[in-house]
Amino acid sequence: MKNITALLLLVPVLLLAGCMGKPTRPAEFYVLSSYPGTPVSGTSAEAPLSLGLGPLTLPEIYDRPQIVTRGEANQIVLAEFDRWGGDLNKDLGRTLARNLMTRLNTDSIVPYPWSSRYAPDFQVTVRVFRFDGVPGENAVFEGIWRVLDAAKGCELAADRFTITEEAGGPGYPALVNAMSRAVATLSQSIAEKVAVTQPGCPGSH
């Protein structure tokens, strides 16, 4: 009986020692960076455009704190110790808005949903299919953006995008930086199209 009692007392100690022996490290948190650009042709500070940005939709696999990367074949990898510093969807929206402000020469960009008292010239929606990458290799940003007449809802322009940015270094800091550059590339494409688009639905009176 004494031997059994001693063994039962020893088991928790061994389990605790095993847990203490596992390597661990503090989690690190990341946010996207904006890349301000120069105003694109067709914009004017004297007559700035107004823009409603959103909705922006991300696949459910990215709706989590962990940074998602790609593994073998159809595998995704969740980085347990490398996480987003907040809601990725909101962070993506803020970064896009800041990039578009400089490129469109306007401060009048509001996130979806906006007040009925705000009447933007355009609405820009983005549906993301992929926003991940491989640490040490590249980041991939893929989806569709649309420009709508904000008042009447008709589609004025649309494009599918696939943007690949080299990581340029190892680890998650370089990967998130590459993801930020991909967002800047998308921002440039959207700004160039918005700048040459006229509000109002074709054929409407």
Q: Is the pLDDT of residue 23 over 80?
A: no
pLDDT tens column, 36-78: 899 998 887 777 889 999 999 999 999 999 999 999 888 999 9
In a domain, 6, yes or no: no
Map residue 1 onto helix, strand or coil. Answer: coil
Mean pLDDT along residues 185-191: 97
What DSSP letter does each residue of 174-190 carry, written as one string? HHHHHHHHHHHHHHHHH
- Please state, rounded to an integer, the average pLDDT across all residues of the chain: 89
In a domain, 189, yes or no: yes
In a domain, 41, yes or no: no
Contact, 98 vs 33, CB < 8 A?
A: no
- Domain span at 127: 50-59+85-195
φ, ψ for residue 25, nearest 5 deg: -155, 160
Q: How many CB atoms lie within 10 A of CB 54?
A: 18
Q: What pLDDT was estimated at residue 47?
A: 77
Number of domains in the chain: 1
Q: Is the dihedral of CA 141, 125, 84, 29 positive or negative?
A: positive
Instruction: Identify the CA nearest to 122 among candidates 40, 45, 201.
Output: 201
Residue at 15: amino acid letter: L
pLDDT tens column, 118-127: 889 999 999 9
| pTM: predicted TM-score of the whole model, two decimal places | 0.86
In a domain, 42, yes or no: no
The span from the CA of 17 to the CA of 32, in Å, is 39
* CATH number of the domain that residue 133 is part of: 3.40.50.10610
In a domain, 55, yes or no: yes
Mean pLDDT along residues 16-35: 77
In a domain, 155, yes or no: yes
CA distances from 77 to 87, 176, 194 (A): 19, 15, 36
Contact, 178 vs 139, CB < 8 A?
A: yes
Q: What pLDDT was estimated at residue 2?
A: 52
Mean pLDDT along residues 18-23: 53
In a domain, 116, yes or no: yes
In a domain, 80, yes or no: no
Residue at 175: amino acid letter: L
Sequence-distant (6+) residues with CB within 8 A of 135 are 69, 167, 170, 171, 172, 174, 175
Q: What pLDDT was estimated at residue 116?
A: 87
Mean pLDDT along residues 93-116: 95
User: Could you say which DSSP state residue 60 is in?
Assistant: G
Mean pLDDT along residues 181-200: 95
Q: Is the pLDDT of residue 9 over 50?
A: no
Q: Which residue has the higher pLDDT, 7 or 119?
A: 119
Q: What pLDDT was estimated at residue 45?
A: 73
pLDDT tens column, 137-169: 999 999 999 999 999 999 999 999 999 999 999
Least confident of 32-46, 89-103, 144-158, 188-202: 32-46
